[in-house]
Amino acid sequence: MKVAVLKETAPGERRVAVVPAGVPALAKEGLTVAVESGAGTAAGFSDDDYRSAGATIATRDEALAADVVLAVRTCGAAGDCWPADRDHLRPGTVLVGLCDPLSSTDACREAADRGATVFALELVPRITRAQSMDVLSSQANIAGYRAVIVAAAALPRILPMMTTAAGTLTPAKVLVLGAGVAGLQAIATAKRLGAQVSGYDVRPAVKEQVQSLGAKFVELPLETVGSEAAGGYAKAMGEEFYAKQRELLGKVVADSDIVICTALIPGQNAPVLVTADMVRRMRPGSVIVDLAAERGGNCEGSKPDETVVVDGVTILGPTNLPADVPFHTSQLYSKNIVTFLTHLVKAGLPDMSPDDEICRDTLVARGGELLHPKVRERAGLPPLAPVTPAQP
Q: Which residues are catalytic?
A: 126, 131, 134, 137, 233
DSSP for 292-332? Answer: TGGGT-SBTT--TT-EEEETTEEEE--S-GGGGSHHHHHHH
> Is residue 89 classed as helix, strand or coil in its secondary structure?
coil
**Integer Cα distance of 355 and 131 in angstroms:** 19
Q: Is 242 exposed, middle or buried (0-12, 13-18, 19+ CB in 10 A)?
A: middle
Alpha helix stretches (DSSP H) within the chain: 23-28, 47-53, 60-64, 82-86, 105-113, 135-154, 181-192, 207-212, 239-254, 276-280, 326-346, 357-362, 373-378
Look at residues 20, 9, 21 and name the one whose alpha carbon lies nearest to residue 48.
Answer: 20
**Integer Cα distance of 113 and 365 in angstroms:** 9
Give bridge partners of residue 174 from the DSSP assignment.
197, 258
Interior CA angle at 64 toward 59 and 70, to 5°?
105
**Integer Cα distance of 17 and 126 in angstroms:** 21
**Integer Cα distance of 383 and 60 in angstroms:** 36
Give bridge partners of residue 234 from the DSSP assignment.
228
39 Cβ neighbours under 8 A, 6+ residues apart: 5, 6, 7, 8, 16, 17, 50
